[in-house]
Amino acid sequence: MTDDRQTAHAASFTHNADEYAAVRPGYPEEAVDLLLPDGARDVLDLAAGTGKLTQALVARGVRVVAVEPADGMREQLVALLPQVEVHAGTAESIPLPDASLDAVTVAQAWHWFDEPAAAAEVARVLRPGGTLGIVWNDRDEDVPWVGAYGALLHEVAGPQLARGTHPTLGDAFTDVLRTDVRWEHVVSPEDLVRLAGTRSYALVLPADERAALLERVRTLVTTHPDLVGRERVAVPYTTRVYTARRR
């Protein structure tokens, strides 16, 4: 993906933040456990979006600060979690002091960053021994209907930036550990259509092409033999959790 195309895809989320908040999955408790080191008190949720992960961190009783560059995303986050300190900022320029955090979390976003610059900034704001936790939700496309759903999206998506990404963090961090967590997110068939519409590659399509894509998705989720007549659908996910410590 070219830099211009990646920038357009990253910027697209601010225009559909309410749908993103409504239909994107959160994160399983086991994954959240892995992101928070023992004794963590001060945690940054970086590129926090609409607060999908932020909400789970707050529930753990730690002090959470959120940084998010997109205005629309921040509006959703503030409405959901008015008690959280929220800043406009980027992974490459975090508006927080040196060595002020026990953990930094990044959900569904590391692939949008300038990785060396982001890793250096995260190292700057972490205390020695602090943890960086990076997480992605991947649909399990070995399940036939999920594979068919993914195939429709891949027709317009081009290269998948997030899938298979393994963070490279540099000498400031210990080796990166990957842990997979399998779980299910239960939604309605129409939510599957709306979910497709929140993908960056769908958001940047011309209106007629976007409508055509979503209609193909709607046909799939209402006619696939594994989904016909279902009012609720369990979407299988593997959540990839990557953790490393600040040296």
Is residue 103 within 8 Å of 130, Cβ to Cβ? yes
pLDDT at 64: 98
pLDDT in tens, 137-183: 999 999 999 999 999 988 876 555 566 689 999 999 999 999 999 99
What is the C-alpha separation between 19 and 10, in angstroms, rounded? Answer: 16
Handedness of CA 19, 211, 109, 188 (dihedral sign): positive
199-243 residue pLDDT tens: 777 888 888 988 999 999 999 999 999 999 999 999 999 999 999
Give tens-digit pLDDT for 48-85.
999 999 999 999 999 999 999 999 999 999 999 999 99
Alpha-carbon radius of gyration of the chain: 18
Reported as a pLDDT band with limits 50, 70 and 90, residue 5 is very low
Q: Can you tell me the distance from the alpha carbon of 133 to that of 114, in angstroms, rounded to the nearest whole number?
A: 17
Tell me how far CA of residue 195 lies from CA of 32, 189, 192, in angstroms: 22, 10, 5
Asked whether the beta carbons of 134 and 242 are under 8 A apart, the reply is yes
Could you give the strand order of the β-sheet that contains 63-67, starting from the edge strand earlier in sequence? 85-87, 63-67, 42-46, 101-107, 126-139, 233-245, 177-187
* Distance in angstroms (rounded) separating the CA atoms of residues 170 and 236: 33
What tokens does 228 get?
Answer: 């016909």
pLDDT band at 16, cuts 50/70/90? low
Q: HSE (CB half, 13 Å, CA atoms) of 85?
A: 9
User: How is residue 153 written in tokens?
Assistant: 């999206």
